[in-house]
Chain A
Amino acid sequence: MAMGRIEAKFSGRLGAFSLDVSFEVPAEGVTGLFGPSGCGKTTILRCLAGLTRLKGGFLSVEGDVWQDGNVFLPPHRRPIGYVFQEPRLFPHLSVMENLRYGMKRSLEVRAELNLDRVVALVGIGSLLNRAPDKLSGGEKQRIAVARALLSQPRLLLMDEPLSALDRDSRGEILPYLEALHRQLELPIVYVTHDFSELERLADHLVLLEKGKVLAAGALAALVTDLSLPIARQPDAAAALTVSVGRYDAPYDISECRLGDLTLWVPGNLGEIGAIRRIVIRASDVSLVRARPGESSLLNILPAKIVSAEPASTSQMLVVLAPEGGGGVRLLSSITRKSWDGLGLRLGDAVFAQVKGMALADLR
């Protein structure tokens, strides 16, 4: 029953579906529950909230037992915030009354979750005096996020909060979710089947399939683990956390540090020292034996081949450890013909060429 961790074990049947999961994740940052539709993600989130009760379950959050045998804390006694797929605003209340609903019922008050701060964080200052039925889908969902935060949770649960929105609204909300992640000391469990949301938001990952846990651990480690399907999907990518250095204004490009490595990322990524996540797709990393003398590519990193496996009849998926990267991993997808042509083997030293466009900042 470790402090600072979420320990969960749920098993049981719901109709024809059977769930049997057990995982332990740190109670900090964003934990993504990821898997195809019908794998049990939402059921697990509902069990964490107490909205669904599976008999043989155990749940402790930061040392407090919420479920164990006959012990079962009902949802309203759990210090959680829950964001559903749909906003679920109360239609008989104004926006402000919706926000205050959970706030005035909360048991504790956390300074970082006061009204002004949350309103600013989710960018809803201009919406407060509007009627709920006059808001767009994205605006409603932001109100729902703020309402959940204002109930002063110690754990925020989000069930595919973007899935009911159109593409534009998603793009509008994601930056706010990233801001939550960066600015609040609030553990978040985030359910999604969209890999691009995960790579932008998640720190830890629980991979699910057919009601079972496939793997759980740090996102950076799991997405480069070739034994897992997540590393073998077409948009497989490595997610790296970098600290922002100098911004080169004339060329509109930022210098970022990753361990001893320097990466050039287009755009102004923010103040020096800011922490950003960049995503490098396997398909955007090519390999060369010797460092090219002159190249248009800015990011060419010396690296060792850690593992490799055929991903299809034509493609080879390679895991690389960049030198001086402090243990980070990159993925590279090359043809099997190139792999054999270059005579590559595990442990070989190569240069990873990263196409500039592949580096995308968080905002």
Chain B
Amino acid sequence: MWQPVVLTLELASLTTALLLLLAVPLAWWLARTKSWWAEPVATVVSLPLVLPPTVLGFYLLIAMGPDGPLAPLLALFNMRSLAFTFEGLVLGSVIYSLPFMVQPVRSAFKAIGDAPLEAAATLRASPRDVFLSVALPLARGGILSGAILSFAHTVGEFGVVLMIGGNIPGKTKVLSVAIYDYVETLEWQTAHELAGGMVVFSFLVILAMMLLEKHQAKRLKA
């Protein structure tokens, strides 16, 4: 019973870590750029919010396959395909959860406004320095929200996982798929334990988010 739980936590942690590295700079660019490309890029990032997970999973499966556009890149690492691998799940989760990280972080960066950034620039901080020493700390609430949301969202994903990961124990069989399996095989007791655990987990995540926002609002008002 515990194997899917551990695998799920691994997947969610790795996905969140990768998203922090990728999505925070992307959100910064989206928040600051005056480029015409900002909105089309933001739209592409948001697509996973509205697409059925099966559609996303289907295209990812093709992209990761031996004849997909990622194949030449995979060949560099001596891999033929990412389909039905843990790495494939990570890549899929990163794309699937991207909007959950980018949107709160972009809003947080936008909320900072020009004022503190200009002040930092007149105090000899280079653009990179301004990002690290002013923008990141001031947006930490949004970044934390984004991290919690994408972690939770990855834990709960089902459709994409099933499409690109399948159901290989210890490799791609995550929590949501495991619950489905237990129900299919009429192991109600185990399904209850996992499903109940998910309810408690979700409750705690949302509660943490709300407390965080309340704390943040109090800090900004002061």
Contacts and interface: CB of A to CB of B under 8 A. Distances in A.
A2 B118 CA distance: 30
A23 interface: no
Interface string B77-106: 000000000000000000000000000000
Task: Determine which residue in B115, B124, B133 has the highest number of CB atoms from chain A within 10 A of its CB, and name it.
Answer: B124
A258 to B, nearest CB: 39
Chain B interface, >50% SS class: helix
Interface stretch (A76-84, A310-318, A347-355): A76-84
Interface string B179-222: 00000000000000000000000000000000000000000101
A147 B123 contact: yes
A51 B129 contact: no
A94 to B, nearest CB: 13
A274 interface: no
Contacts of B220: 91
Interface in B95-130: 115-116, 118-127, 129-130
B116 A88 contact: yes
B137 interface: yes
A82 B119 CA distance: 7
Interface residues of B, number: 20
A51 B118 contact: yes
A90 B125 CA distance: 13
Nearest to A75: B121
Given A90-B134, A105-B129, A133-B222, A51 B122 contact: yes
A107 B124 CA distance: 8
A334 B57 CA distance: 88
Contacts of A90: 116, 119-120, 134, 138
The 8 A-B pairs with the shortest beta carbon distances in the complex, nearest first, are A102-B123, A82-B122, A105-B124, A88-B119, A75-B121, A92-B137, A133-B222, A151-B123
Interface of B: 115-116, 118-127, 129-130, 133-134, 137-138, 220, 222
Interface of A: 49, 51, 74-77, 80-82, 84, 86, 88, 90-92, 101-102, 105-107, 133, 147-148, 151
